[in-house]
Amino acid sequence: MNSRARVVFMNVAVVMSCWLWGGMPSYAQAIIADHNAVGEFPLIPGPVIEAIGDNYDIYYVHTSHGSQIMTGISQVYDEDNFYDPPVFHEVGDDLGHNGDLTWVPATRAYLDAHPECTMAMFSWCGGVSDNTEEGINIYLEAMETLEADYPGVVFIYMTGHLDGTGPEGNLYIRNNQIREYCAAHDKILFDFADIESYDPGGIWYPYETDACGWCETWCAAHAEFGCTCGECAHSHCFNCYQKGKAWWWMMARVSGWTSSGCNCGAKGDMDGSGTANPVDVAYLVNYVYKSLDALVDPPNCAFPAGDVDCGGQITPLDVAFLVKLVYTSQDALCSGCNPPPR
């Protein structure tokens, strides 16, 4: 988020106060952090980001594949220190294979000894690829039991990483089993595999592996941050970066943020309210003045797209033009579903 956009976001703190929270929220529906979540990452208001850093203490069980999320969180922070994550307690383990429950007693021991812990996450290594319907059900039942026994802790479900077998493979079937369960029972799911399956342009790669071949192609054509890092275990740095952004989106939703940018109907209506408000304007300003691909061209102006009076600065005339365009034009390309890359 650039400084100009952040100022606008921070100025709407009062507007957003209706959903900022003082305790753990309850969920009326599932929260699914998939590839669409990555596109909504720039829309998260500043006050929500700050609240996440202040209000969570996270227990995270993972091995190398699960470390991709941590690498991505670090990449986002390195790009902008405003995204300062909460406390993590990382444990070197994973969800195993075929009904393995060795991770459960360790989880109980930690939660019993650390009442300050407010969230528990668990990742797979390769344990979904060779799993069975029964084995996945054992995992789901164990998570349900933990949730019932620790009502003050938010539990994060997860799919397994891609293995190249595509929609016909066992991995796809077992991941769908997890997705369907989470959707039906209002769970919080970090959809590891779905994030790996789509590039920022929305192109689906059904036979991709965890190495993320499309990431190499994407980064060769784009210079955005996220294409380089110290290491992204088993994969490309851009894959980690995408997961870091999806994690922040998931945390914002868990915290009570209810953006519906991808389902709002009106392009540019970031919160789905049907009316122009500061959140919409902040997105538009960030879009038009940062993206070289912005196609919102006012007539007869040689300056950047959206600079209606050719003054070289953001003015009320520019904002008025943008709001009118987004709420009246079928050709507006400032879609909340796919904001431009940072």
| Two structure tokens written together for 229 | 């890092």
**Percent of the chain clearing pLDDT 90 (strictly above):** 60
Structural domains of the chain ordered from first start: 20-257 (3.40.50), 263-328 (no CATH)
Residue written as token pair 């890359």:
341
What is the model's pLDDT at position 225? 80
Nearest-angstrom CA–CA distance, 25 and 45: 18
Read off the pLDDT of residues 246-281 as tens digits, 9 standing for 90 and up.
999 999 999 998 765 443 444 455 555 555 566 666
Read off the pLDDT of residues 222-231 as tens digits, 9 standing for 90 and up.
877 899 999 9
Nearest-angstrom CA–CA distance, 77 and 85: 8
Spell out where the chain has E strands: 31-33, 57-62, 87-92, 119-122, 154-158, 188-190
Phi, psi (deg, nearest 5) at residue 322: -65, -45
Query: Is 61 in contact with 103 (CB distance < 8 Å)?
Result: yes
Nearest-angstrom CA–CA distance, 12 and 270: 14
Nearest-angstrom CA–CA distance, 96 and 103: 8
Nearest-angstrom CA–CA distance, 37 and 33: 5
The pairing of strands 57-62 and 87-92 is: parallel
The model's pTM is: 0.72
Range name among 13-27, 36-50, 79-93, 262-276 with the lowest pLDDT average: 13-27
Range name among 168-177, 245-254, 301-310 with the lowest pLDDT average: 301-310
Range name among 140-144, 232-236, 307-311 with the lowest pLDDT average: 307-311
Nearest-angstrom CA–CA distance, 191 and 256: 19
